[in-house]
Amino acid sequence: MDLVTQHNTQQAQRQAAMAVLAHAEAGEIAARLRNFALPPHQDLRAPENGLVMLRGRVGGDGAPFNLGEATVSRAAVRLASGEVGFGYTLGRDGEKARLIALCDALVQSRDFGASVERDIIAPLREQLAMRREQAAAKTAATKVDFYTMVRGEG
Q: Encode pLDDT of 61-104 as tens digits.
A: 888 999 999 999 999 999 999 999 999 999 999 999 999 999 99
**Mean per-residue pLDDT of the chain:** 90
Whether the pLDDT of residue 27 is over 70: the answer is yes
Residue 60 banded pLDDT, cuts 50, 70, 90: confident
50 has a pLDDT exceeding 60: yes
Neighbours of 49 (CB within 10 A): 13
Query: Does the pTM of the predicted model rise above 0.85?
Result: no
Angle between helices 94-108 and 3-23 (to 10 degrees): 150
